[in-house]
Amino acid sequence: MKIYIIIHTYNEAENLSNLVKVISKELENYNYKILIVDDNSPDGTGQVAEELKQNYPVDVLHRDNKLGLGSAYLTGFKIALDNGADLIFEMDADFSHDPRDLPKMIKEIKNGNDVVIGSRRVKGGKIVGWNFWRHFCSKGAMFFSRLVLNIKTKDVTAGFRCYKRKVLESIDLDKIKSNGYAFQEEMIYKIEKMNFKIKEIPVIFTDRQKGKSKLNKKDIWEFFVMIFKLRFKI
């Protein structure tokens, strides 16, 4: 079983080395590859990624501009599929997603699930480090999107996911145009409509300790626009 971990980076030089080390420890008994997609980070993340190639099974894709999370994952998915990946992960570079959960997610795939989500919104899941306003906005946005789109998945915007190869092969990735939270929303909507088996497992999401959050008003606006595009097939 060949595993690809797709990590999108923009100004993650402070986190990346430690993250790769922990991932490698957790997956030492697996056939895995870490693909880092860097959007020309001005803090030197790309150079850090290149140095990691010397000691770890890391590939690096350097992009010329800040093109966004969604396009980074789509590019990564295609590379993983072209290289024979059986399982494809997406995860953040800032340790908000705990690498120690990777083996648990692989186990759930082996139990017959097609997609496994590290979920903050199921029993046992938790978010550490958010203020009241961010909790309120997140819960409201998820409730609204699940209601309008009739999505069963509870953590619609979760960015810690594992896909079986056949799931990504079944989606026309070239038609996925959204970025940020909207990308996660669009993907899960299409996956549910295809009736793939999705499993949410509880994870502890810890807000980043180093670096700055990439969430902005454009991402929030795109999230709500995508709800209506999907609902009315625009």
Domain locations along the chain: 2-231
Report phi then psi at 111, rounded to 5: -80, 0
The encoded tokens of residue 68 equal: 């966004």
Q: In the prediction, which pLDDT does 209 show?
A: 62
Q: In the prediction, which pLDDT does 57 show?
A: 98
Q: In the prediction, which pLDDT does 224 show?
A: 84
Q: Which CATH number applies to 2-231?
A: 3.90.550.10
User: Are 112 and 197 within 8 A, CB to CB?
Assistant: yes
From first CA to last CA, the distance across the chain in angstroms is 38
d(CA 158, CA 118): 7
Q: In the prediction, which pLDDT does 40 show?
A: 96
For residue 213, pLDDT beyond 90: no
Q: What is the pLDDT of residues 188-203, one digit of tens each?
A: 999 999 999 999 999 9
Q: What is the pLDDT of residues 104-153, one digit of tens each?
A: 999 999 999 999 999 999 999 999 998 898 888 888 888 989 999 999 99
The encoded tokens of residue 132 equal: 């009241």
Q: In the prediction, which pLDDT does 210 show?
A: 60
**Summary mean pLDDT of the chain:** 93
Quick one: average pLDDT of 57-80?
96
Q: What is the pLDDT of residues 6-22, one digit of tens each?
A: 999 999 999 999 999 99
Closest CA to 176 of 117, 115, 226, 231: 226
The encoded tokens of residue 212 equal: 């700055």
pLDDT band at 183 (very low <50, low <70, confident <90, very high): very high
Return all residues near 217 (Cβ < 8 A) that are at least 6 apart.
none
Quick one: average pLDDT of 175-179?
89
Q: What is the pLDDT of residues 43-67, one digit of tens each?
A: 999 999 999 999 999 999 999 999 9
pLDDT band at 157 (very low <50, low <70, confident <90, very high): very high
**Any idea which residue has 């309120």 for tokens?**
136
pLDDT band at 158 (very low <50, low <70, confident <90, very high): very high
Q: In the prediction, which pLDDT does 125 show?
A: 97
For residue 211, pLDDT beyond 80: no
